[in-house]
Amino acid sequence: MERRKVDILCVQETRWKGSKALSIGAGFKLFYYGVDSKRNGVGVVLKEEFVRNVLEVKRVSDRVMSLKLEIEGVMLNDVSGYAPQVGCELEEKERFWSELDEVMESIPTGEKVAIGMDSNGHVGEGNTGDEEVMGKFGVKERNLEGQMVVDFAKRMDMAVDNTYFQKREEHRVTYKSGGRRTQVDYILCRRGNLKEISDCKVVVGESVARQHRMVVCRMTLLVCKTKRSKIEIEKKTKWWKLKKEECCEEFRQTLRQALGGQVMLPDDWETTAEVIRETGRKELGVSSGRKKEDKETWWWNEEVQDSIQRKRLAKKKWDMDRTEENRQEYKELQRRVKREVSKAKQKAYDELYTRLDTREGEKDLYRLARQRDRDGKDVQQVRVIKDRDGRVLTSEESVQRRWKEYFEELMNEENEREKRVEGVNSVEQKVDKIRKDEVRKALKRMKSGKAVGPDDIPVEVWK
């Protein structure tokens, strides 16, 4: 995806069991659904920059799922579909198209739709009688499953993007197996959005799947630029360095010099606090403020990258010249890549387990768990809400206005309140000064490594 500059990828026949979202590394996140590890399964892979734009994930079945995204005020629904094969029962095929119909009917007409699907059908070459939903540039003849694709497009006012662009047959064929060369994978959009599709073709030379080939569509969204508030990066003082004796001693000496050589702290709290913070920034340093992410591909070493590159080139060579020698070379490289990936993962896991046995590793374990928990959530952040009539509000001004309306109504409603306790007498008595030994006991009971308060000074400084 990174090499081909793909932002959203629909995948089918994944055979991944479960209903999850997870970070797959290299700046991409996978949303998937499957009920059987031996058949079916669908998913959508998103570029990391669009993960915050996800508003809703619908997992209809192990053949249909959809994501709703808000991109600069534009609502885009991305649907991944996997139609039953030619030999499946008619009832199963009708159930799939019924599920896809329900997804489309649930999407408001003003929102954009992109469907990436393995239809297991051929819409065929030519478009006589079907000019409103497809172009002329299909492959070979139409079959029953291909007719179902065309009928769906007519029902839902969709268009089959692949067929509108004149390409060499090599860039139209999506499935190759033995001597068979067909077109079964399609990308569909609303007919009214065809003007936003600038290209759609098959990408050759990728070794993702042995028989299927990736279809890439370039869609340009016509958006109204909205001014969004910048996310301020919070840079933090590296107070945790105080655990090291040498850092702690240097900090202590520098702080005393900054306080004019005094052992006791001055009475002015604001001055004292600012001197401590400034000394901490100077002696201990400041973090970059960037999010520390758990990389799922930390085992991805140079040997693995080199083997995968050679496998990709072998696949491209076999696609161009399908000799038995080229086929065997490609299969051998496939086996080698699997072995090297397995070896690299095992080595990385061994190193991880060794590190987790240490005190520092224990903290890494909790960080990894928190990161996995965040990555497993479909919607990371709620950025839009609906108005009174159920319409989605996308601009910051309209969202804030709606929240204002909501709280005004909530806080101004008459509710039964608890009776106030009246007539309580105040108690006045002498309060002794805080003693040094009380402060020492309090500091001793306080745990290190805790979050700082509003003054940005941790307990380790006072200890």
pLDDT (tens digit per residue) in 199-225: 999 998 777 777 899 999 999 987 766
Residue 140: strand, helix, or coil: coil
Distance CA 443, CA 105 (A): 63
Find the mean pLDDT for residues 315-333: 84
CA distances from 99 to 61, 68, 241, 361 (A): 8, 17, 56, 47
- Given 176, 201, 219, the domain boundary residue is 219
Domain co-membership, 282 together with 133: no
Domain co-membership, 92 together with 198: yes
Distance CA 392, CA 194 (A): 24
Domain co-membership, 349 together with 204: no
Distance CA 330, CA 332 (A): 5
Give 274's contacts (C-beta < 8 A, 6+ positions apart): none
Q: Which of 148, 143, 144, 123 is nearest to 134 (CA)?
A: 123
pTM of the model: 0.71
**Does any domain span residue 327?**
yes
Angle at 261 between CA 255 and CA 265, to 5 degrees: 65
Contact 313, 207 (CB under 8 A): no
Distance CA 27, CA 342 (A): 22
Supply the pLDDT for residue 118: 96
Give 111's contacts (C-beta < 8 A, 6+ positions apart): 68, 75, 76, 77
Residue 70 class from Cβ within 10 Å (0-12 exposed, 13-18 middle, 19+ buried)?
A: buried
Supply the pLDDT for residue 206: 79
pLDDT in tens, 384-430: 788 888 787 877 888 889 999 989 888 887 666 555 556 667 778 88
Token couple for 283:
């002696």
Distance CA 168, CA 147 (A): 23
The pLDDT mean for the chain works out to 86
Q: Is the model's pLDDT at 176 over the cut of 70?
A: yes
Contact 202, 217 (CB under 8 A): no
For β-strands 28-34 and 197-202, DSSP reports them as: unpaired
Total domains in the fold of the chain:
3
The region of weakest confidence among 300-304, 336-340, 395-399 is: 300-304
Q: Is the model's pLDDT at 293 over the cut of 60?
A: no
Beta bridge partners of 57: 67
- Other Cβ atoms closer than 10 A to 191: 15
Phi, psi of 388 (to 5 degrees): -60, -30
The DSSP-derived string for 214-268 is -EEEEE-----------------B-GGGGGSHHHHHHHHHHHHHHTTT-SSPPS-
- Given 323, 346, 375, the domain boundary residue is 375
Distance CA 151, CA 117 (A): 15
Q: Which of 233, 242, 235 is nearest to 449 (CA)?
A: 242
Find the mean pLDDT for residues 138-160: 95
**Does any domain span residue 3?**
no
Supply the pLDDT for residue 127: 92
Give the H or E element holding residue 80.
Answer: strand 74-82
**Does any domain span residue 353?**
yes
Residue 297 is which amino acid? Answer: T
- Given 330, 353, 375, the domain boundary residue is 375
**Does any domain span residue 134?**
yes
Domain co-membership, 209 together with 336: no
Domain co-membership, 275 together with 177: no
Domain co-membership, 170 together with 141: yes
Domain co-membership, 31 together with 147: yes
Domain co-membership, 282 together with 310: no
Supply the pLDDT for residue 375: 77
Residue 190 class from Cβ within 10 Å (0-12 exposed, 13-18 middle, 19+ buried)?
A: buried
Q: What percent of the chain has pLDDT over 70?
A: 91
Supply the pLDDT for residue 413: 72
Find the mean pLDDT for residues 357-366: 73
Q: Which of 123-158 are b and which e, b meaning 16 or more Cβ less than 10 Å from the residue's Cβ?
A: bbbebeebeebbbebbbbebbebbebbbebbeebeb
Beta bridge partners of 200: 217
Supply the range of the domain harboring residue 152: 8-219
CA–centroid distance for 8 within its chain: 10
Domain co-membership, 316 together with 254: no
Domain co-membership, 105 together with 198: yes
Domain co-membership, 90 together with 149: yes
Q: What is the dihedral of CA 297, 303, 304, 309, to 10 degrees?
A: 120
Residue 228 is which amino acid? Answer: R
**Does any domain span residue 277?**
yes
Higher pLDDT, 416 or 169: 169
Phi, psi of 238 (to 5 degrees): -80, 65
- Other Cβ atoms closer than 10 A to 328: 12
Q: What is the dihedral of CA 400, 402, 407, 409, to 10 degrees?
A: 150
**CATH number assigned to the domain comprising residue 61:** 3.60.10.10
**Does any domain span residue 115?**
yes
Q: Which of 13, 193, 25 is nearest to 118 (CA)?
A: 13
Distance CA 57, CA 75 (A): 13
Distance CA 182, CA 143 (A): 11
Contact 163, 112 (CB under 8 A): no
Q: Is the model's pLDDT at 228 over the cut of 60?
A: no
Give me the residue label for tokens 């901490």.
280
pLDDT in tens, 438-448: 988 998 898 88
Find the mean pLDDT for residues 82-91: 93
Domain co-membership, 164 together with 47: yes
**Does any domain span residue 437?**
no
**Does any domain span residue 455?**
no
